[in-house]
Amino acid sequence: TIHNMQDICRFETAWTPNHISPWCAIFSKEEWRVMEYIDDLQYYYAAGYGIEINKMIGCFPMEDLFNHF
């Protein structure tokens, strides 16, 4: 998939920073921006404040710390 090709580019770039991966050349700058935005949305709704339970997980410990420390 396109997502896998993007990941291969990232991994090869991280593994050999002085060498440009051929997988990176197949995407334009605009396509990278779109894919980064898609990744941001996925992480926002999977692990960020996009889901109500994720907001509450951090609130209770911080509230407890604030009230009892």
- pLDDT digit of tens for each residue in the chain (69 aa)? 888 999 999 999 999 989 889 999 999 999 999 999 999 999 888 887 778 777 777 778 888 888 888
Q: What does the alpha-carbon distance between residue 5 and residue 37 come to, in Å, rounded to a whole number? A: 16
pLDDT attached to residue 64: 85
pLDDT attached to residue 50: 77
Could you write out the DSSP letters of every residue in 10-39?
A: HHHHHH-TTS--TTGGGS-HHHHHHHHHHH
Q: What does the alpha-carbon distance between residue 69 and residue 25 come to, in Å, rounded to a whole number? A: 53
Count of domains observed in the chain:
1
pLDDT attached to residue 14: 94
Q: What domain range includes position 38?
A: 2-68
Q: What does the alpha-carbon distance between residue 41 and residue 58 come to, in Å, rounded to a whole number? A: 20
| Sequence-distant (≥ 6) Cβ neighbours of residue 9 within 8 angstroms | 21, 23, 24, 27
pLDDT attached to residue 20: 86
pTM beyond 0.85:
no
